[in-house]
């Protein structure tokens, strides 16, 4: 699993029938301690109703096809949770208000 921020929405009118009805989001992987961008943006199927700006947990490969909404679909990246809080070594580095910067010290 990896932490990411929802950066945008992807619209596709022509797609595999198994993708019809699935919401596609552009996600930016993040460094879990600092919240800085980590790598290139990716497209993921949203299984939890995340919105732009939400910090989410993404899974890839066969794990992305283990949700009720993505089973047996041609999916290799899925948003599986919206993150509320991250603690590292007893310090909160992220909550719904944003990254605290504590993890980079």
Selection from 72, 28, 65 nearest residue 47 by Cα? 65
**Contacts of residue 60, Cβ cutoff 8 Å, sequence gap at least 6:** 2, 76, 77, 78
Question: Alpha-carbon distance 46 to 70, whole Å?
Answer: 9
* 3-class secondary structure, 32: coil
- Residue predicted with more confidence, 101 or 51: 51
Mean pLDDT of all residues in 31-54: 95
Q: Domains in the chain, please, with CATH?
A: 2-104 (2.40.50.220)
Q: Find out whether 77 and 45 touch, Cβ atoms under 8 Å.
A: yes
Read off the pLDDT of residues 26-39 as tens digits, 9 standing for 90 and up.
999 999 888 999 99
């Amino acid at each position: 699993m990896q932490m990411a921020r929802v950066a945008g929405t992807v619209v596709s009118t022509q797609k595999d029938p198994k993708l019809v009805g699935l919401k596609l989001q552009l996600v930016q992987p993040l460094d879990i301690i600092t919240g800085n961008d980590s790598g290139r943006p990716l497209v993921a199927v949203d299984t939890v109703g995340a919105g732009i700006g939400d910090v989410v947990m993404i899974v890839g490969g066969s794990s992305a096809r283990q949700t009720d909404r993505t089973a047996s679909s041609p999916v290799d990246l899925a948003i599986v949770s919206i993150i509320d809080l991250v603690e590292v070594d007893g310090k909160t580095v992220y909550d719904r208000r944003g990254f605290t910067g504590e993890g980079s010290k």
